[in-house]
Structure 1
Amino acid sequence: MTDEEPSLRSFQDRLERLDMPIRMWREARERSFAAAFGPKQGKLSNLMARLPQAASAAAALGLGRRDEVFAIFDELCDLYARSDAPHCAIIRGIVHEREAHVLLEDYVAYASGILKQGGRPEWLERGVAAASIDDQRRDYRDWLMSLGDLYLSAHAAHVDPSPVLKRIAGRSNPERHQAAPTPTREALGNFENSAYFATSILPQLR
């Protein structure tokens, strides 16, 4: 038994206890959004015009248990960053079995915001670790954009993202799944050589 195993069981238990509150909060937000948005038929321009009102209705329900989840993610991402690849795979599995996984993208944005405001370099590592755990499971385009925002925040804070990207890439999933065009290990390791980086990130660094 390794030193990490008891910690992993602890994380699993803590995340499991949040399953029901997160599920109820998420479903309530979805119902509120749908009620405010109304019928999904009609002209695209009319549908787009209703989006802000629907989004506001969902946001009015608050953040739910987000702060508790983020506190767990702080610890979990720190553990992920210092674990070997097999343990990182276990961590990814634990998180994706729980409702908290829907907040990974928000956590990356949260880490990016703290870093941009002058937060410690560890927030870059936490953000990249969270992106690795997320594993592009929801929408790889949103995943790329959130990673790009994190990269820009690191530069604004005078922190070099390259070593962290490469180090966390080695702990990431080497296998591609249906939601993503490339494995997360490759996407992180080659982020600075990607077409997205060249067109959307590099111009902002000049």
Structure 2
Amino acid sequence: MTDAPSFKTLGEKLERLDAPIRMWRESRDRAFAAAFGPKQGKLSNLMARLPQAANAAGALGPGPRDEAFAVFDEICDLYARSDAPRCAIIRGVVHEREARVLLEEYVGYASRLLKQGGRPEWLERGIAAISIDDQRRDYRDWLMSLGDLYVSAHAAHLDPSPVLKRMAVRSNPERHRAAPTATRDALNNFEDSAYFATSISPQLR
């Protein structure tokens, strides 16, 4: 199968997941809201209700997460062997679809597999997903996810540096409002960042 039909097929798979993911998220939101109750009151009381509300949402299960993760496996593999212009198209397609909200969880999934002795391709898939995510939700969570993946790779006796550099070339060179720096720069300079020095490096000793 050539890249072009693969890309088209993956886009169609993402599109088919739109409705199931949307319905699952809406059901979770309703369950959370019903269990949480009114949003007025003392902060301590509101915080005390969070675990119950989170459990109510979690009781609905993982939804179509497994199906989305299977598509992400293919997308990240394609991303890793594509050039920068094609990667920009892939990012655009993913961010048009509901599955985009599961990218952060997918990175965590890749990180856990690495820590459990998973195959080296999970490092590449995880950093590809980091690149695709492009810090669109919360750059602090994005940075922490990248850090966790880095530590997991180190625990699996893998060197993340070459993969970081390779994926940086494929990443967005433009900074958007949600992020302090462009994803390309963030990946290129991750190992020289203050966050790496204070939060990641101590875990590697």
Counterpart mapping for 1:77-96 below 5 A: 77-96=76-95
| Cα separation, 2, equivalents of 1:39 and 1:181 | 35
Q: Secondary structure of the equivalent of 1:62?
A: coil
| Cα separation, 2, equivalents of 1:141 and 1:14 | 29
| Cα separation, 2, equivalents of 1:199 and 1:43 | 35
| Cα separation, 2, equivalents of 1:149 and 1:135 | 17
Q: Which runs of 5+ in 2 are unaligned?
A: none
Match of residue 108 from structure 2 = 109
Q: Secondary structure of the equivalent of 1:182?
A: coil
1:19-39 deviations in Å (ceiling 9; x for gaps): 001000011111111111122
1:142-196 deviations in Å (ceiling 9; x for gaps): 1111111101100110001111011101100000111111111011111111111
| Cα separation, 2, equivalents of 1:33 and 1:161 | 38
Paired AA for residue 12 in structure 1: G
Paired AA for residue 68 in structure 1: E
Match of residue 188 from structure 2 = 189
Q: Percent of aligned positions with the same letter in both sequences?
A: 80
Match of residue 34 from structure 1 = 33
Match of residue 131 from structure 2 = 132
Q: Which runs of 5+ in 1 are unaligned?
A: none
Match of residue 76 from structure 1 = 75
Q: CA deviation at 1:104?
A: 0.4
Paired AA for residue 205 in structure 1: L
Q: Secondary structure of the equivalent of 2:170?
A: coil
Match of residue 18 from structure 1 = 17
Paired AA for residue 97 in structure 2: R
1:115-153 deviations in Å (ceiling 9; x for gaps): 000001100000000010000100111111111110110
Q: Secondary structure of the equivalent of 1:13?
A: helix
1:89-127 deviations in Å (ceiling 9; x for gaps): 010011011101010000000000000000011000000
- Once the two structures are overlaid, the 10-residue window that deviates more, 46-55 or 125-134, is 46-55
Match of residue 45 from structure 1 = 44
TM-score (normalised: structure 2): 0.97
Q: Secondary structure of the equivalent of 1:159?
A: coil
| Cα separation, 2, equivalents of 1:84 and 1:142 | 27
RMSD: 1.2
TM-score (normalised: structure 1): 0.97
| Cα separation, 2, equivalents of 1:41 and 1:54 | 15
Match of residue 5 from structure 2 = 6
Q: Secondary structure of the equivalent of 1:170?
A: helix
